[in-house]
Amino acid sequence: MSKDIRIKRGLTLRLEGEAEKELVKAPRSKTYAIKPPDFHTHVPKMVVKEGAKLLAGDELFYSKYTDEIRFTSPVSGVLKEIKRGDKRKILEVIIEADADIAYRDFGKLDAAKADVKDVKERIYESGCGAFINQRPYDIVADPKDTPKAIFISAVTTAPLAASKGFLVKDKIAAFQEGITALAKLTPGKVHLCVDEESAQYLKDIKGVELHHVKGPHPAGNVGVQIHKIDPINRGERVWTVGVEDVAIIGNIFLTGQYRAERTVAVTGSEAKDRNYYQVQIGANIEDIIGSVSEDVRIISGNVLTGTKLSNGQYLGFYDNELSLIPEGNKYRMFGWLPFTYNNIHSNSRTSLSWLFPNKKYTPTTNLHGEERALVVTGEMEEVLPMDVYPMQLIKACMAGDIEKMENLGIYEVAPEDFALVEYVNTSKLEVQEVIRLGLDLMITEIG
Amino acid sequence: MEWIRQRLDKIKQPFQKGKKLEKYAPAINALDTFLFTPNHTTQKGAHIRDAVDLKRTMITVVLALVPALIFGMWNGGYQYLHQLPEYADGVPFFDAFWHGALKIIPMIAVSYAVGLGIEFAFAIFRGHEVNEGYLVTGLLIPMIMPIDIPLWMVALSVVFAVLIGKEAFGGTGMNILNPALTARAFAFFAYPTYMSGNTVWVSNAAEVDAVSGETILGSLASGNEVGYSAMHMFSGQIPGSIAETSAICILAGALILVLTKVGSWRIILSAFIGAAIMGLIFNSLPSIGVEGNALTNFPWYLHLIVGGLAFGIVFMATDPVSAAQTARGKWIYGFLIGFLSVMIRIFNPAYPEGVMLGILLMNVFAPTIDHYVIEANVKRRKKRLEKANTQVETAV
């Protein structure tokens, strides 16, 4: 039985620079990189050395403490460099790509008829395990767990985010096969949440429970959907997979090849050609957006949750967007005067921007203030559509009070769910970081 | 603007990290950020941020206080001058305003100088930036004092409020009691002769025989005739603490707070409801055969507009730090403030106004209210877990 969800609390940011819904083939990158820091808490253990020849789908490294989870090469080529940071921590595994991708052949497998064991093995040996994330904790899932359900969000609400319907509209067959495979991994249901646009393409997908979701951001966040449909209790595991990643998983069964394709929306006021680009995972961003000036912030992901990149770096593993916005390293005189600077969006009404709900804003990276003690109450609840007390949970995380965090619902949240809380926060707290640290503490203490 | 910026950057040179005045950086930063919103950019997490910051929020409250303050200055002069024979034909606006302003502006100056001095000292000592909370507190403290209070008493009250009421608990955001009310409570109990009675509420009342300066609540408590009409009470041409008298100006402030969402409409509304209900209960005493007294029989709607009740509810009860923090908690917290304030007012004529004690009492209980509201959320979560567990067991 499907359950439709209407979210009331939240905030849809209307920003300048949405991508045109037109798919452009980007020039192929010469180098690609898989970045172990994208897989939070997983420690990489390399299996190939610099100079090794690779096919797309060949293993690069595995997770040291969960060795079933393998991370494979998105393209064929030569392992060029293993870039390390402090304490020899691996930051980037860079691959110099061939002109054409040669795939390692895993062999076709009919997911519908195959054994659960075979399906699981296929997903993990091909490196598709990296696409399966778990809640609680928002990390790559441990294949030894049995999830109570699997959630896939095809709802787009994040500011300047790639339209999830657009991402999969030409990959429906692979998507269906991916769903069939994933359904074998859980005794529970596979929940697929759609918005009006993605429903056009995904309404006939079989083997899922379809939910129509309406409402402002963060309604598109899978965490919010889990919370509304089947909330996580202590000790339970729920798995989540991105929409495009489901199609990659499907392809491993349909074609036997690890086709690590990424559709990337180039957005933001500073982007020149705002389109969707067809690339491979880990592509060098310079081949997509070229080189941009110092005054532009390049973000892999959306403006609320993405990671900052510099020219010539590589696309994040899970990211479907490159957002380019102006840096805000400028002073503003008397910025504290209420009702001035109304061209900067504010959810509070100390700016007149609320009088123009349809205006599109060009945000910068300016913090618009300095960090302060938590004073204002009630603003966080307005943008978090969960039965969770955000400020109290944040304070519990800061204090490292495990019991309190558990009581207040730490298992149900992920940093991205708190992105809007961070955005509206008057005290300019780094809320997502606080929640991440809280979750990390839970992992080490409870697991 | 560029020129000022460059000058500032030059002045700030010796305050940078590793330079000799580094320790005093919070002080210079406070001045700098007053002129310019800094050029800091996001480093972690969300790359874009809302335009609001604590400075904006606090200045909005200050703006909301301005109508009541201006009226307070005028009324401070008017209450005195209109009783003098030479002003029998009416008091010119400017004369009254000038008289009041001369009394009140020094109080504000003292309050800001002393309070900000302590805040700056603590910021330097503790190595954090100066919080903006005192911008509001520093203005509120003189506004709730009697007009003739000596400046040194204002200064001492501020010291007590900031040190004991706020910094002792860890500074802005951590205090349990509203600092402005803490200052008033200190003055109230330390110098009762300057803070209550019949002669303190009108400027120079003690020195001039002809001037009477009893507040309405004072008259009611001592069984005297109330010489003011409801219209006077609403517009505020009555004796009282500096800015508490005009219901119209407080209403204007409330409107600013509610429209900007800086003040919680839940607290304001529920507090007025609570006060009205308590007033109604006392008003209905005669119908059950209890005679009551002048205070209990004072109409409930007038209870809302006399004394400091409205000012306290709008500007003190809504202080987000000392109030309840959950939405449901705010309803309970506000309601009880209104309810208790009128009760204290009526039952304890030694304190003719109950709102100060009502709010301070509820400040203490706000965390308890929040605890039970949040506990309900925790219980829901635990119940869900139990249900999930039994489902698993029955399935096995």
Instruction: Label the pairing between strands A321-326 and A296-300.
Output: antiparallel
If DSSP codes are grouped into helix, strand and coil, which group holds residue A69? Answer: strand
What span, in angstroms and rounded, lies between the C-alpha atoms of A128 and A120? 10
Q: Does residue B30 carry a pLDDT above 90?
A: no
Using a pLDDT cut of 90, give the percent of chain A over it: 87
Nearest to B54 among A372, A377, A424 (CB): A372
Q: For residue B327, what is the nearest residue in chain A, using CA coordinates?
A: A378
ω into B192 cis (within 30 of 0) = no
Note the pLDDT of residue B393.
Answer: 64
Note the pLDDT of residue A364.
Answer: 93
Contact A378 B327 (CB under 8 A): yes
**Token pair 């359950």: residue:** A3
Mutate to test the interface with B, among A217, A295, A376 (most CBs of B within 10 A): A376
Both tokens of A85, joined, read 């940071």
* Confidence grade of residue B396 (pLDDT, cut at 50, 70, 90): low
Of the candidate ranges A255-264, A342-351, B274-283, the one whose mean pLDDT is the lowest: A342-351
What is the distance in angstroms between the Cα of B64 and the nearest Cα belonging to chain A? Answer: 11
Q: Does residue B224 carry a pLDDT above 80?
A: no
Mean pLDDT of B218-225: 78
Contact B44 A433 (CB under 8 A): yes
Structural domains in chain A, sorted by start = 5-27+110-254 (3.40.50), 367-445 (no CATH)
Per CB-CB distance under 8 Å, the chain B contacts of A372 are 53-54, 129, 131-132, 172-173
Between A278 and B32, name the one with better pLDDT: A278
Instruction: Say yes or no: B67 contacts chain A, CB-CB below 8 A.
Output: no
Note the pLDDT of residue B289.
Answer: 84
Note the pLDDT of residue B209.
Answer: 63
Q: Report domain extents, chain B.
A: 2-35, 54-372
Note the pLDDT of residue B212.
Answer: 67
What is the distance in angstroms between the Cα of A406 and the nearest Cα belonging to chain B? Answer: 9
Give the Cα-Cα-Cα angle B366, B367, B370 (nearest 5 degrees).
90
Note the pLDDT of residue A332.
Answer: 87
Ranges of H-type helices in A304-430: 390-399, 402-407, 419-424
What b/e sequence results for B36-72 when a residue is b if at least 16 CB atoms lie within 10 Å of its CB, and e otherwise? bbbebbbeebbbbbbbbbbbbbbbbbbbbbebbbbbb
Position A107, amino acid: G
Between A121 and A3, name the one with better pLDDT: A121
pLDDT digits (tens, 9 = 90+) for A200-257: 999 999 999 999 999 999 999 999 999 999 999 988 999 999 999 999 999 999 999 9
Using a pLDDT cut of 70, give the percent of chain B over it: 96
Note the pLDDT of residue A437.
Answer: 96
Q: Which of B98, B54, B297 is nearest to A426 (CA)?
A: B54
Nearest to A377 among B50, B320, B389 (CB): B320
Contact A377 B5 (CB under 8 A): no
Of the candidate ranges A268-272, A301-305, B1-5, B279-283, the one whose mean pLDDT is the lowest: B1-5
What b/e sequence results for A173-199 when a residue is b if at least 16 CB atoms lie within 10 Å of its CB, and e otherwise? ebbbbbbbbbbbbbebbbbbbbbebbb
Q: Which of A310, A314, A306 is nearest to A285 (CA)?
A: A314
Instruction: Say yes or no: B22 contacts chain A, CB-CB below 8 A.
Output: no
pLDDT digits (tens, 9 = 90+) for A24-55: 888 888 999 999 999 999 999 999 999 999 99
Position A242, amino acid: G
Contact A373, B173 (CB under 8 A): yes
Per residue, the 3-state secondary structure of chain B, as one string, reads CHHHHHHHHHHHHHHCCCCCCHHHHHHHHHHHHHHEECCCECCCCCCCCCCCCHHHHHHHHHHHHHHHHHHHHHHHHHHHHCCCHHHCCCCCHHHHHHHHHHHHHHHHHHHHHHHHHHHHHHHHHHCCCCCCHHHHHHHHHHHCCCCCCCHHHHHHHHHHHHHHHHHHHCCCCCCCCCHHHHHHHHHHHHCHHHHCCCCCCCCCCCCCCCCCCCCHHHHHHCCCCCCCCHHHHHHCCCCCCCCCCCHHHHHHHHHHHHHCCCCCHHHHHHHHHHHHHHHHHHHCHHHHCCCCCCCCCCCHHHHHHCCCHHHHHHHHCCCCCCCCCCHHHHHHHHHHHHHHHHHHHHHCCCCCCCHHHHHHHHHHHHHHHHHHHHHHHHHHHHHHHHHHHHHHHHHC
Instruction: Say yes or no: B255 contacts chain A, CB-CB below 8 A.
Output: no
Both tokens of A375, joined, read 């004073």
Q: Which of A204, A207, A259 is nearest to A74 (CA)?
A: A259
Which B residues in the span 110-139 are in contact with A, Cβ-Cβ below 8 Å? 129, 131-133
pLDDT digits (tens, 9 = 90+) for B46-94: 999 999 999 999 999 999 999 999 999 999 999 888 888 888 888 899 9
Nearest to A331 among B36, B47, B57 (CB): B36
Q: For residue B132, what is the nearest residue in chain A, using CA coordinates?
A: A372
Contacts of A72 (CB under 8 A, 6+ apart): A56, A57, A58, A59, A60, A126, A127, A258
CA dihedral over B314, B317, B321, B325, signed as positive or negative: negative
Nearest to B50 among A233, A303, A348 (CB): A348
Contact A264, A321 (CB under 8 A): yes
Mean residue pLDDT across chain A: 93
pLDDT digits (tens, 9 = 90+) for B110-119: 999 999 999 9
Note the pLDDT of residue B208.
Answer: 67
Q: Which of B298, B362, B356, B358 is nearest to B324 (CA)?
A: B362
Q: How far is CA B22 from CA B27, B35, B41, in A?
A: 10, 20, 22
Q: What are phi and psi of A382, to 5 degrees?
A: -65, -25
Contact A423 B325 (CB under 8 A): no
Q: Does residue A369 carry a pLDDT above 80?
A: yes
Note the pLDDT of residue B128.
Answer: 85
Q: Does residue A417 carry a pLDDT above 60?
A: yes
